[in-house]
Structure 1
Amino acid sequence: MPINPKQMIYANLAEVAQALGHAHRLELLEQIAQGPRSVEELAVLAELTVANASRHLQVLRRARLVETDKQGKRVFYRLAGECEVIAMLKALGRVAERNVAEVREVIDDYFGARDELDAISREALLTRLEEGGVTLLDVRPEHEFALGHLPGAINVPLTELEQRFDELPQDLEIVAYCRGPYCVMSFDAVAALRARGYRIRRLEDGFPEWKAAGLSVETRH
């Protein structure tokens, strides 16, 4: 019986879709999108055992969503086709926001309560940066900031924000960002700083989307 090319393509698409069909694997992809991570690091960040994290990562690897690099005895995971994987996750989020009532309720009740203003787009932020007078605030943990960040950004992790308010300018607009569109850290940072009189807005996406768009990034080693 001849091979049906359409069925072959759909079978492989189904494997990719199946790999995405678990909340832990989506969270692992979000973490890997910040930069290469070891299994041990990913297990801690996703609050999984190393064995469980490894099983999920193998599913993602078989679907060719992640690749590995070996450094000594440690194995590091990175996105395979970074731009495409990040775009796929963003598209998945848009479909869920439109079609799934529970997702819309979370967006409205949780995120909307913390930031009633529209987020700033990448295009608008680029214009504001060219004009000057805006401060970029990265509220991710320091080790993620070191892997890559928007050029000129100040790193104040959300857990340290209350102790470091004096490091942020009150006379300039601040744009905060974190891991991605559903990362709560930037929403919480906006709420905390706006309550103290800062002029602050949130970037509509996070660092991975900025990098995937081919825009300039900085690293700190």
Structure 2
Amino acid sequence: MNVQQHNPFQFPRIYLASQSPRRAQLLEQMGVPFDVFLPEDSAAAELLEVVLPNEDPVDYVQRVSLAKLQAIQQQINTARLPPQPILCADTTVAFAAEILGKPEDAADARRILTMLSGQVHQVHTAVALACGHEVKRTCVTSQVTFKTISPVELEAYIDSGEPFGRAGAYAVQGLAATFIEHLSGSYSSVMGLPVFEVARLLRG
């Protein structure tokens, strides 16, 4: 998918190796021209996200973003597509060193959100940008404080369907914004892409 928009800062056109509509939205907000490029083998891409035994959340998110980038690099090279920078990102939610992935079902979403209720947790987003043979990387950590979520709010949120398909079982830009008492760090990074850091990588 080719995305055209106004580019006042003259960012280079890139390949976005992500199907996340939030990441596409944030790149459009920055004025970055991009083409979405997805993995041919979605099952293999999902396997990259399997957490290794005792893996630290920051190590995990950096490993996954780099592995996804390398897989897409190989695809693009094989297809002999025009060379341009490739951007890949991965976001994970962690509480007390436990990596909280996408909930498997309503019961799992309930477990995760109950764990986060009234607590501070971390959101880590790792970015990997390939420019030719060079790979630039960064990782941004934000602290998010949830209010105590009432049982009625919890069930209403699960019934909305928003927790599913999202790390940590919530979307900062959605209904869950009503749960966030405080956010320290990068709001856009919690959404899925740290705008300031990505702009700095692209300018470099």
TM category (shorter chain) comes to under 0.3
- The structure carrying a bigger strand percent of its residues is 2
Query: Whose relative contact order is higher, 1 or 2, with alpha carbons under 8 Å and at least 6 apart?
Result: 2
TM-score w.r.t. the length of structure 1 is 0.25
TM-score, length basis structure 2: 0.26
